Every structure is written in C-alpha cells, then in structure tokens.
Amino acid sequence: MAIYITTDCINCGACEPECPNTAIYEGGASWSMAGVTYGGNDPAPSGATGFWSADYFYIVPDKCTECIGFHDEPQCAAVCPVDVCLPDPNVVESKEELELKVEYLNLIDAERLRG
Amino acid sequence: MSYREQFELGVAEFNRGEFFECHDTFEELWMDSRGDRKVFLQGLIQSAVGVFHSMSGNPRGAFSQLSRGLEKLSAYRPSFEGVDVEALNRGLERLRDAVALGLDTGDFQFDPALVPGIDYRPDPSISPDSDDSGSRGA
C-alpha cells in the first residue's frame, strides 16, 4: 500500500528529499506527474482523492511505491522522527502491484527520479 | 558539538518553549543514535512536537504525539542519562489530559502553564561523548 502522512506532521521536511519517486510535496504545493501539474482539488490519474493537504506535507499515492525498487523500506518513514509516515489503508497494494507501478512510472515519468 | 552539548541545547530549547527548534536539535542526535538512547530521544522529540501542536491549534496532533511520546518515555522512568523522566512525564500527562478534555468538549484552549520543563542534570563523571550505553531507568 502507499504511504501517507498524518496530521501529526510537524512540517520539518525530512521526508521530502528522501523519496526516490518525488512523491512527497509540501503542504499547499501543486504536484506533478508525467509532465502534468495538478492542484489541490484535482484527482490523481488513478482517481485517488483526499491526499492533498494545504497544511502538511503530503504523498501522492500514484507516485508512491513504498520505495520498492530503490530501498528495503520506505525512506520517508525511516527518516521521520515522529512516525507520521504510515501505510495508507485506503491504498492497499501488493508487492507485485508496487513493482508493476515502478515499471509504469519509469515508462511515463522517468524525470521524476532524483539524481 | 559533542553529543552532550547538542543534547543540552535541545533541553534549553525545550525549556525556552522553542519546540520546533528542539525537535530539530534532538532529531540530529536521533539519526546517529541507536538502542535505548535512540528510543529515548524519539520520545523527547514526539513530546516536543506534541507541545508544539498544542500551541499551534492542532489538538488532535498534540494528543497523538504526546501519547506516543509518553508511551516511549515511560520505559525510562525514573530517570535516564541525567533527565528526570518521572517529573517530565507527570507534566506531559497533565498537558495530554487537558488536550483530551478539550477534544471531548470541542473547546481546547492552550494553557502555557501546563507546558512542562525538562530537569536535566548530567553526570559529570560520564564523558560528554560516551556511547549509548546508559541503562534504561537508571
């Protein structure tokens, strides 16, 4: 399943640079995927809604692969000192589904990758 | 800056009410720590963040973080590496209970008088950069 950030978030920003898929955005910011920019009320291509936040860092579920393909564990959760990066019960994905997501993202949005 | 110097800075920030800065200071130490010390630092960080949220009008976040901080710190009573955990926890519990009451009534009002302080008295016989060999609850 994708990771989400709870409203306990203190906005320290430790998580944002750690995401290999650039799936984490500062509260209030627009987000982008495959060259398209989305605002607060826009659903993700998958139809997902409710993940955008005006006040706290948020994670775009369409771009989150729980770091599969990059790390052994979700890096946002690993660096968060207050444990507010948690599995999203609304976006439950198997390991196989996440691996396919990585391949899909590599096809449509290779520019998302850091470094 | 040694571990102790940075820890003292974090304590000073907490006691001055600079909870965001405090969480940042302790977070740096937390990243490089392990074992009991790492969990203890996380308890302090979550407590600082909980107080921050209570001051910032986020009682739900405050309750969650204060509860999680208390859960971790409780294992370190009565004291750990010079920190009077017993006293700190009493203060945090009072604040947490006030937040809970505010959430129940829908009328949380932050009371600065409920913000606890950290009583820290390092053991001068221990090197400032000793590793995290402190035993829990000592």
Q: Model confidence over A22-55: pLDDT tens digits? A: 999 999 999 999 999 999 889 999 999 999 999 9
> B74: alpha, beta or left, given left = phi > 0 and alpha = psi -120 to 50?
alpha
Q: If you measure CA to CA, which chain A residue comes closest to B23? A: A81
Q: Model confidence over A62-85: pLDDT tens digits? A: 999 999 989 999 999 999 999 999
CB atoms near residue A38 (< 10 Å): 17
> Phi and psi (nearest 5°) for B109?
-120, 125
Alpha helix segments (H runs only) across chain B: 3-15, 19-32, 35-55, 59-73, 85-105
Cβ contacts below 8 Å, chain A against chain B, sum to 39
* Interface confidence (ipTM) of the complex: 0.73
With contacts defined as CB-CB under 8 Å, which chain B residues touch A83?
A: 42, 46, 68
Distance of CA A57 to the CA centre of its chain: 10
Q: Model confidence over A100-115: pLDDT tens digits? A: 999 999 888 877 776 4
Give the type of residue at A104: Y
Q: If you measure CA to CA, which chain B residue comes closest to A6? A: B61
Q: Model confidence over B98-129: pLDDT tens digits? A: 999 999 998 888 999 999 999 999 887 766 66
* Domain ranges within chain B, ordered by starting residue: 3-109
| CATH for the stretch B3-109 | 1.10.3450.10
Cβ atoms A44, A76 nearer than 8 A = no
What is the domain range of residue A32?
3-112
Where do we find the tokens 């430790």? A14
The enclosing domain of A27 has a CATH number of: 3.30.70.20
Q: What is the pLDDT of residue B137?
A: 52
